[in-house]
Structure 1
Amino acid sequence: MAERVRYNRIPFLIVHRENRVRKDVYGAIDDAVVLQAQLIRGDNPSDIVLIVMHPIGAPAYLPIFAHLARAGHHIIACASRYSSGDAPLEMENVILDLGACIKDAKERLGYKKVVLLGWSGGGSLMAGYQAEAEKPVVQLTASGEETPLAGAKLIPGDAIMLVASHRSRHYLLTGQIDPSVRDELDPDRRDPSLDIYDPDNPAQPPYSGDFASRYRAAQIARNRKISEWARDKLACLKAKGREHDEFCFVTHRTMADLRWVDPSIDPNQRKPNWTYLGDPRLVNDSASGLGRFSSLRGWLSQWSIDYAQFDSVMSGPRITVPGMVMTAGADDACPREHTDLMFDALGSQDKLKITIDHANHYFSGDNGKLHLDQAAEAITKWLIARGFANDVVLANAVTAS
């Protein structure tokens, strides 16, 4: 791919307003929801923009977006309101944040076409948003409360790309949560027969089908136990007249997916005993583990296998715009089986699945630049073929060929 465009990062803010009693994030001023964004672009004009957002964190510095900007694409990388932490995160609110970003891109910045690009956890966000924009179904939050999302007029994207994505936060966590934990208040009380990091456990990889089935059932059971406790706790608060109160808690041991230690499970090109966060045994107890800190509403909306509402597989049938699903061949975060299910579920008549061989989740490492080049080239070709490219992108593509 030719890299001819010098690009700039232009920081800006997007402000939308919600009149609510409870504030979920630190620093919220009055009824303003302030989103930090960057416009990543060269000097070339364009009326087409790629919009990226992740439920937590700011995605602007993922290297793929610099690659795409050098090719001439315009990109808006926008953080959600939960950029300081996902303990209180409700996906219904993140959908509203994404809607505010798309509205701003069209009405204030003047872009005519918007392509949604969901990386990693941004995949289920983009799919959920597009599904709600095309055929809305959400009426209440996952905790059963009113949400401004019900009845919101979301502007649909013109195309969607799910890149190195998992199907949802709740399915990802359920596949990773450690089912050996018997007591949420004392995580050292464990069922040794389900502790995959116990060297004395007779069950060792490669795991039998019976053990894998038992393990998976125990993971789902643990998720459901926490979810029902969260619902009961919230109901108790409301019964006391404390309908706006919250309760925060810790979920211990959340990096114990069988596939981390047994590469024959959901096989791809990843290396064994390793994850995108490092050694899975250490991450299992680390503060950086997925879903470690939660509020009641945050758990139900993000992590509950029964009550969370945004999942790319469930959202897919309501999506009709052109869609691409790109997987990293050695992804050490997102399960390959999620990619297949997401692609099959997409209702788009025009859809394509692409694999970047040997790329890990972040397209990093010795061959990281090669993998980034391949991903950016594949994305650019897909966009060009569907009319989502400006003159500079087209010129670069001609030069590269």
Structure 2
Amino acid sequence: MLTRELLPIPMTSGGRLDINSGVARLSGKIWATLWKDDRRPPGTAVLIVHPASNFIGHYALEELASRGVAAAGLATRYVGNDSALIMENCVLDVGAAIRRLRELGYEKIVLVGNSGGGGLAALYQAQAENPTITHTPAGDPVDLTTADLIPADQIVMAMAHPGRAVVYTEGLDPAIVDEHRPFDRDPGLDMFDPANGPAYAPEFVSRYRQAQLDRNRRISDWAFQQIEALRARTRRSPSGGQEVPDDLPFVVHGTAADPRFLDLSLDPSDRAVGTLWGSPWVANFQPASLGHLTSLRSWLSQWSHEHSRANAYRRLPGVKAPVLVVSGSADCAAFPSHARGMYDAVGHDRRELVEIKGADHYFQGRPDLAAAMCDHIVEWAR
């Protein structure tokens, strides 16, 4: 009989105030949902992760459990709010979840990075196998070398892109010339200007991609400068000591401007024109789309192309565990080059690349294709 239970998991302190809710912060816990077949002894557990999405109700959990493995969906400390997210703390959360599953008797752990969880899963496994990180990109202490992270036995990149900083930069609008005035635009770098396409010429795409990297780097440099400047803003506290703000929030406009959203000849697949949030032009400025509100420290850890560590292209070459990459031919968020790039990055032959024909990012209207993904994961686990 399939059962579902809510797992409380001890949360390692991140050392800073980056969770708004006092209830969540003071509880000292994160949470996961565990689906399992009570008629089977503990064996293999599949853990599905993402930095900020609530995977407690993930669509694959019951399907996986019905195939004879236990399936857990994790909610990190940043569930539903990535504005102050620190990737290194997400690694600690994944580590705590794997440790809890081991304590429950599961001998084999398959770590699944779904969507934006791909970069996190790759970073976790790399650090669990060979821990090196002692500080965040902003310089805050977060010692993964002493965190006793337990490596997963296998890794799955499921409908995943290589990392939030990568896909974010690929959607960062380079036509914005003033970070405070999103509609003051450089027409020569505007994918929404009909004079440029679609279709987009190779020369335009090349300039566009470089300008995206340049904008990301400018924001990263500015974030470091602002963190340094904050150190001068000390004041005397009521208790007589010194206090200083150590982070600030800011807005990033234009984050859904990937030319692939409008030009299907770029990175060709079966996808439809558009984004996960609808029209690219609207999603580019819509608060609910990707990464418009962040903080200085979170930007460096989560969105900075140069400084974020959660990049599967960079992490997978050192990973020793077997790696399965599952992609959808109609996915408009994780593109064919992402899947191929992650597969090629794996530094050994215990790897597999699977494409599910017709599957979009969320398998909308196609539970049969979601079931096919679960079949691949369970077959791989066995």
- Check the 8 A contact 1:128/1:310 in 2, yes or no: yes
Q: For residues 324 and 29 of structure 1, do their structure 2 counterparts lie closer, same or farther at Cα, with a shift above 3 Å needed?
A: closer
Counterpart in the other structure of 2:288: 288
The yes-or-no answer on 1:57 pairing with 2:53 is yes
1:337 — aligned with what?
337
2:98·2:150 contact (CA, 8 Å) conserved in 1? yes
Q: Deviations over 1:275-307 (max 9, x none)?
A: 222222211111112111101111110100111
Q: Does 1:253 align with 2:248?
A: no
The one-letter code sitting in structure 1 at the alignment partner of 2:266 is: I
1:211-251 Cα offsets, whole Å, 9 max, x none, are 00111111111111111111110111124346652100111
Name the SS for the 2:111 alignment partner.
strand
Map Cα deviations across residues 153-198 of structure 1 (whole Å, 9 max, x no partner).
Answer: 2100111111111001001000001111011111121112222223
> 1:253 corresponds to which letter in structure 2?
G
> Would the alpha carbon gap of residues 370 and 181 (structure 1) be closer, same or farther in structure 2, given more than 3 Å must change?
same
TM score, norm. by length of structure 1: 0.89
Unaligned runs of 5+ in 2: 235-242
The Cα shift of 1:21 comes to 4.8
- State the distance in 1 between where 2:66 and 2:16 align: 44
Q: What's the TM-score once normalised by structure 2's chain length?
A: 0.93
* 1:75 and 2:71 correspond: yes
State the Cα deviation string for residues 95-153 of structure 1 (Å, max 9, x = none). Answer: 0011111111112x121211111111111111110110111222320112221324322
Mapped pair 1:226 → 2:222: no
Task: Give 3-state SS (helix, strand or coil) of 1:317's partner.
Answer: helix
Distance in 2 separating the partners of 1:78 and 1:192: 43
1: CA distance between counterparts of 2:27 and 2:128? 23
Contact 2:14 2:89 (8 Å CA) reproduced: no
Task: Choose which of 83, 87, 90 in structure 1 pairs with 2:83.
Answer: 87
- State the match for 2:38 in structure 1: 43
Change (3 A) 1:53 1:243: farther
Per the TM alignment, residue 350 of structure 1 is displaced from its structure 2 partner at its CA by 1.1
- Asked if 1:96 corresponds to 2:89, the answer is no
**Matching residue's letter, 1:159:** Q
State the partner residue of 1:111: 106
Root-mean-square deviation (Å): 1.7
1:203 aligns with 2:204: no
Query: Does structure 1 residue 379 correspond to structure 2 residue 377?
Result: yes
Residue 119 of structure 2 is aligned with which of 117, 124, 133?
A: 124
SS at match of 1:40: strand
What secondary structure does 1:50 align onto? strand
Which SS does the other structure have where 1:221 is aligned? helix
Look up the equivalent residue of 1:15 and give its one-letter code: P
SS at match of 1:63: coil
Aligned counterparts of 2:278 and 2:184: Cα–Cα separation in 1? 25
> Residue 364 of structure 1: SS of its match in structure 2?
coil
* 8 Å CA contact retained: 1:13, 1:34: yes
Matched, 1:214 2:207: yes
- In structure 1, runs of 5+ residues without a counterpart are 1-5, 385-401
Q: 2:131 aligns with which of 131, 136, 143?
A: 136
Q: Distance in 2 between matches of 1:196 and 1:291?
A: 20
Change (3 A) 1:25 1:105: farther
Deviation at 1:56, TM superposition (A): 0.2
Residues 85 and 19 (structure 1), Cα distance of their counterparts in 2 relative to 1, 3 Å cut: closer
In 1, the alpha carbon distance for the partners of 2:131 and 2:347 equals 15
The answer to whether the 8 A contact 1:180-1:192 is kept is yes
Tell me: CA distance 1:197–1:100, structure 2 relative to 1, closer, same or farther (3 Å): same
| Structure 2 residue aligned with 1:183 | 178
Q: State how far apart, in whole Å, the 2-side matches of 1:93 and 1:33 are.
A: 13
The one-letter amino acid paired with 1:41 is K
1:82 partner amino acid: Y
**Would the alpha carbon gap of residues 19 and 340 (structure 1) be closer, same or farther in structure 2, given more than 3 Å must change?**
closer
2:188 aligns with 193
- For residues 41-83 of structure 1, the C-alpha deviation after alignment (integer angstroms, 9 at most, x for no partner) is 2223222211111100211323222211222220111110001
